[in-house]
């Protein structure tokens, strides 16, 4: 009568991973399908063909590999940079070969066709039709003969037809040598020069690249200058470095920070270059720091007004060999006003120090040249900054790591040690962990508690009495029958341990790690406790089991366990019958013990295999303990608690304990998944309630319909919650922004112009994480309900250009576009009237909502009367 409940539970556990996987794909189970006409028709073969070749630079040190893919008419493949949440991006791979030491990133020979997001596919699609060639730089091993080299290449991805058919594709090819050709040297693939270990670097003739004297910053809103003294030192001496920044107009520079850890703006970074691996103190300044909170809830910005001078010292190693040494470093800076910001930039300062005999205290100016802000930030991470930051007020003290044999000496300076993963650490105060004995005790107590369940406790006394009668009150035989019965109980729990360990292995197989932490296929023990999907599975398991303990529904066993060969085996007398009685009785007690065992399954997934067997073995021993204890002295059966309503109350109390566990698990969920998970629990509660009503129905068809309906309700509500209620990123609101990532920056200007020609008005917000005024504008004047109403009412296209990564190869395209709009910095809001190609309204600095709305309305009035059309057609 209740046999459908376990089947339904199994279906739920099988379907839930599918739902979760759909979430991981952005919730779109039909990704890449652009239309439904002729869906599943004759267009089913993209006719993908792959060819490859490679050329080698005349130097013989490097080259380029070209991979060409062709598809049939109407078919396309997607770019290697296709955004997640839509079609599968194309993945290209060059198989390992001893002749090739490194392979760079693949770039296409032409731009993909961009299809804007729509209601079905919520990310832009980047398509290549007919033919595309991807190229990547390669480094060749010394002595490699290009003529003998054969590179195996692979392509994996997805191909779609314009009529809607989509298929996964893969292909292999062999790249053959195609001659010698001049190829740009792939500087990003070349290994960095290693510093010489020990206390000193060999002196070298260093060629100054910059120009001595003042240096105008990239935005033109400040001047950098600097000097060092003395220019001639003895080994072990200190060199004082002075760097000054003089702003122009009302611009300022942000305060120094040891590392690039600020939010909303870029702090000043100062660090020595690789060619000067000496130790330095942190930079200090007498100019006070001004703190100003621009947005409530966001960290305050810290900056200096007026001219700012930083000083720090550099320690010359005491074992430095006489000679000339380069004193080279980087300054990362950002110049802003209260309303506008230049992009973060940097400069390299250079000088030459003569180590030998000490000379006069003369100073020498640094030579400056342009550099990247990220270069200064990267060097700050791996040089002195973090070490010195730990010194607090004593930040000027120099610290040198002692050698492996020499004791620490205050006057011996060594360059920073190279990064290594082989360092061994001895923990002096290891954390206290639960001992194996304590785990056994807790598991044993948990198993003993299972005997107090309503469907277990009455069986205990009856089974022991049956063994007493069967043995004719012979104490030794009574004990043996109880012992064999207990082995049957423990056997069931050992089988459960095998099942739980198999689940652990399956989880590891579907989520391979890096192999560094052990576990199945590299799955680190316990790492799932930090995965929101694992937490969600635990919440579902504990919540549904808690509802079962509260009486909302019942977990039943299939009826075949109580009849047939299983039942006949357990009804036999003797030791064999006692063993099978232990098995069957334990299985039949699942409706009560299941709610306890369910969370145990979840817990043991994140534990090692031996812990799993210990936990289940101890639970089985605990559940069998009454039989073993009373088997030794049958008179103790009189002390067993009498069955009654108290057992039901105890079971329901444990149900509330399970609900408290759900509360704790909800606390560990990421914030964006809390509301969807709470909504899912409502669906699970309704589904479990429907399952609880199945036994009250008379007709078999009604029971089946109710059971199926329970899962439809639970899964449907869960699917809705995780597709529509997940909290989005900070750019979401009443405006559906089309965010332009770095790869789309080159196409930005053409896209806007095309949309203007098509009669569409376009609003573009240029922003960046390092621009605090941009954040103020975004939250208070641009991404507001009022602006959203105007945008949606007039069909204005909102675009967001996140210029945070100014080091990207496409960053100059953004800078050039901004310059063409008559500006040199951000924040910048540009509004392009539809039908007026080449015309634009530009709003900069600090904005108000009313100003933005006024400009949008003005642009809309300027828009031509021509009907709107899609700027980019299929």
pLDDT bracket for residue 869 (50, 70, 90): very low
Q: What average pLDDT score do residues 269-276 get? A: 90
The total number of residues written for the chain in this structure? 874
Residue 311 pLDDT greater than 90, yes or no: yes
Query: What is residue 173's predicted lDDT score, i.e. its pLDDT?
Result: 94
> Would you say 766 and 842 are in contact if contact means Cβ atoms under 8 Å apart?
no
Query: How sure is the predictor about 448, in pLDDT bands with cuts at 50, 70 and 90?
Result: confident
* pLDDT at residue 19, as a whole number: 37
Burial of 362 (0-12, 13-18, 19+ CB in 10 A): exposed
Q: Give the range among 48-52, 77-81, 329-333, 499-503 with minimum mean pLDDT.
A: 499-503
Confidence of residue 649 (pLDDT cuts 50, 70, 90): confident
pLDDT above 70 (res 802): yes
Residue carrying structure tokens 């802000």: 373
In this predicted structure, which of 19-28, 184-193, 425-434, 806-815 has the lowest mean pLDDT? 19-28
| pLDDT value for 658 | 74
pLDDT of residue 292: 87
- Inter-axis angle of helices 532-549 and 645-668, nearest 10: 160
Radius of gyration of the chain (CA): 36
Nearest to 860 by CA among 814, 773, 796, 769: 796
Q: Tell me, what's the pLDDT at 643?
A: 57
Q: 610 vs 411, which has greater pLDDT? A: 610
Tokens matching residue 694: 């199945």
What percent of the chain stands above pLDDT 90?
A: 21
Confidence of residue 474 (pLDDT cuts 50, 70, 90): low
pLDDT of residue 328: 94
Distance of CA 680 to the CA centre of its chain: 24
Measured over the CA atoms of residue 810, residue 814, residue 819 and residue 824, the dihedral's sign is: negative
DSSP state of 781: I
Most confident of 98-107, 208-217, 260-269, 311-320: 208-217
Q: Between residues 495 and 511, which one has the greater pLDDT?
A: 495
| pLDDT-derived band at 489, boundaries 50, 70, 90 | confident
Mean pLDDT rounded to a whole number for the chain:
74
Q: Name the residue with higher pLDDT: 725 or 472.
A: 725
458 has a pLDDT exceeding 90: no
SS3 of 544-560: HHHHHHCCCCCCCCCHH
Question: Residue 504: which pLDDT band, with cuts at 50, 70 and 90?
Answer: low
Q: Is the pLDDT of residue 331 over 90?
A: yes
Q: Any idea what the Cα angle at residue 415 is, between residues 413 and 418, rounded to 5°?
A: 145
Q: What is residue 380's predicted lDDT score, i.e. its pLDDT? A: 84
Please determine, for residue 152, whether its predicted confidence score (pLDDT) is greater than 90: yes
Contacts of 381 (CB under 8 A, 6+ apart): 259, 260
Instruction: Find out whether 579 and 525 touch, Cβ atoms under 8 Å.
Output: no
557-587 residue pLDDT tens: 444 444 444 444 444 555 666 677 766 666 5
Q: Are strands 797-802 and 738-740 parallel, antiparallel or unpaired?
A: parallel
Query: What whole-number distance in Å separates Cα of residue 730 and Cα of residue 734?
Result: 12
Question: Which pLDDT tens digit goes with each residue over 810-826?
Answer: 888 888 898 888 888 88
pLDDT at position 539 over 80 = yes
pLDDT at position 503 is: 60
E-strand ranges in 95-213 read 100-103, 107-108, 113-115, 125-129, 131-140, 151-161, 166-180, 211-212
pLDDT at residue 68, as a whole number = 96
pLDDT tens column, 224-264: 999 999 999 988 889 999 999 999 988 999 999 888 877 77
| Residue 465, phi then psi, degrees to nearest 5 | -65, -35
Q: What is the pLDDT of residue 118?
A: 73
Whether the per-residue pLDDT at 640 is higher than 70: the answer is no
Question: Among all chains, which residue has been given the structure tokens 């979430």?
Answer: 23
To the question of pTM greater than 0.75 for the whole model, the response is no
What does the pLDDT read at residue 395?
38
Is the pLDDT higher at 791 or at 401? 791
Please choose, from the candidates 508, 501, 503, 505, the residue with its C-alpha nearest in 3D space to the C-alpha of residue 523.
508
HEC readout, 516-537: CCCCHHHCCCCHHHHCHHHHHH
Between 75 and 120, where is the model more confident?
75
Tokens of 836: 């007026």
Residue corresponding to tokens 């004082």 = 240
Q: What is the mean pLDDT of residues 276-287?
A: 87
**Would you call 832 helix, strand, or coil by DSSP?**
strand
pLDDT of res. 462:
47
- Res 538: pLDDT: 72
């Amino acid at each position: 009568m209740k046999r459908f409940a376990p089947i339904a539970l199994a279906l739920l556990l099988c379907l839930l991973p599918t739902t979760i996987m759909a979430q991981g794909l952005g919730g779109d189970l039909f990704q890449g399908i652009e239309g439904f006409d002729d869906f599943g028709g004759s267009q089913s073969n993209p006719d993908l063909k792959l060819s490859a070749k490679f050329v080698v630079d005349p130097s013989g040190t490097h080259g380029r590999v070209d991979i060409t893919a062709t598809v049939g008419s109407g078919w396309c493949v997607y770019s290697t940079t296709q955004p997640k949440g839509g079609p599968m991006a194309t993945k290209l791979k060059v198989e390992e070969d001893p002749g090739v030491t490194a392979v760079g990133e693949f770039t296409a020979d032409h731009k993909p066709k961009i299809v804007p997001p729509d209601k079905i596919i919520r990310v832009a699609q980047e398509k290549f039709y007919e033919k595309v060639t991807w190229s990547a730089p390669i480094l060749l091993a010394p002595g490699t003969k290009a003529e003998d080299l054969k590179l195996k290449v692979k392509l994996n991805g997805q191909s779609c037809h314009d009529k809607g058919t989509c298929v996964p594709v893969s292909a292999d090819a062999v790249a053959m040598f195609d001659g010698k050709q001049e190829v740009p040297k792939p500087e990003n693939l070349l290994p960095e020069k290693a510093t010489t270990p020990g206390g000193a670097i060999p002196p070298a003739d260093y060629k100054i690249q910059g120009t001595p004297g003042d240096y105008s910053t990239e935005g033109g809103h400040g001047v950098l200058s600097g000097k060092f003294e003395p220019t001639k030192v003895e080994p072990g001496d200190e060199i004082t470095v002075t760097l000054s920044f003089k702003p122009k107009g009302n611009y300022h520079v942000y305060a120094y920070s040891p590392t690039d850890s600020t939010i909303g703006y870029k702090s000043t970074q100062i660090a020595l270059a690789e060619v000067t691996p000496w130790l330095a103190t942190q930079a200090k300044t007498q100019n006070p720091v001004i703190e100003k909170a621009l947005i409530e809830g966001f960290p305050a910005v810290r900056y200096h007004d007026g001219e700012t001078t930083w000083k720090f010292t550099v320690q010359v190693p005491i074992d430095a060999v006489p000679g000339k040494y380069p004193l080279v470093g980087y300054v990362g800076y950002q110049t802003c006003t209260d309303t506008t910001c230049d992009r973060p930039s940097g400069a390299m300062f250079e000088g030459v120090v003569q180590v030998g005999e000490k000379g006069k205290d003369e100073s020498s100016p640094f030579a400056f040249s342009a550099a990247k802000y990220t270069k200064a930030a990267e060097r700050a991470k791996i040089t002195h900054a973090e070490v010195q930051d730990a010194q607090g007020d004593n930040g000027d003290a120099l610290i040198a790591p002692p050698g492996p044999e020499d004791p620490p000496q205050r006057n011996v300076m060594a360059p920073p040690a190279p990064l290594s993963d082989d360092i061994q650490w001895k923990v002096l105060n290891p954390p206290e962990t639960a001992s194996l004995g304590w785990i056994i005790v807790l598991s044993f107590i948990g198993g003993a508690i299972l005997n107090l369940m309503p469907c277990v406790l009455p069986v205990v006394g009856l089974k022991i009495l049956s063994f007493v009668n069967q043995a004719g009150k012979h104490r030794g035989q009574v004990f043996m029958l109880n012992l064999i019965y207990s082995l049957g109980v423990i056997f069931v729990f050992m089988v459960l341990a095998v099942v739980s360990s198999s689940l652990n292995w399956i989880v590891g197989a579907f989520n391979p790690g890096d192999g560094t932490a052990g576990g199945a296929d590299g799955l680190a023990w316990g790492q799932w406790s930090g995965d929101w999907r694992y937490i969600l599975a635990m919440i579902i398991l504990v919540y549904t089991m808690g509802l079962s303990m509260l009486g909302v529904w019942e977990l039943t066993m299939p009826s075949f366990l109580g009849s047939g060969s299983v039942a006949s085996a357990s009804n036999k007398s003797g030791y064999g019958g006692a063993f099978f009685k232990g098995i069957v009785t334990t299985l039949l007690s699942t409706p009560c013990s299941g709610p306890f065992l369910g969370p145990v399954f979840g817990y043991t997934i994140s534990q090692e295999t031996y812990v799993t067997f210990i936990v289940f073995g101890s639970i089985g021993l605990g559940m069998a303990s009454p039989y073993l204890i009373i088997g030794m002295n049958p008179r103790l059966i009189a002390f067993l608690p009498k069955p009654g309503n108290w057992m039901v109350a105890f079971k329901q109390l444990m149900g509330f304990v399970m609900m408290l566990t759900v509360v704790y698990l909800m606390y560990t969920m990421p914030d964006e998944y809390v509301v969807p998970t709470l909504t899912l629990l409502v669906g699970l509660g309704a589904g479990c309630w429907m399952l609880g009503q199945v036994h009250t129905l008379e007709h078999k068809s009604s029971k089946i319909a109710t059971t199926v309906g329970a899962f439809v309700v639970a899964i449907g509500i869960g699917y809705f919650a995780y597709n529509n209620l997940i909290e989005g990123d900070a750019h979401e609101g009443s405006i559906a922004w089309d965010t332009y990532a770095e790869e789309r920056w080159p196409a930005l200007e053409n896209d806007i112009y095309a949309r203007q020609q098509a009669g569409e008005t376009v609003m573009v917000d240029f922003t960046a994480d390092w621009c605090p005024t941009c954040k103020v504008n975004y939250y208070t004047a641009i991404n507001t309900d009022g602006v959203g109403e105007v945008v949606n009412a007039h069909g204005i296209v909102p675009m967001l250009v996140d210029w945070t990564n100014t080091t990207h190869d496409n960053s100059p395209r953004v800078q050039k576009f901004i310059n063409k709009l008559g500006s040199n910095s951000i924040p910048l809001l540009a509004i392009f009237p539809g039908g007026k190609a080449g015309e634009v309204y530009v709003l900069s600095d600090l904005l108000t909502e009313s100003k933005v709305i006024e400009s949008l309305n003005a642009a809309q009035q300027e828009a031509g009367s021509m009907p709107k059309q899609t700027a980019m057609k299929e």
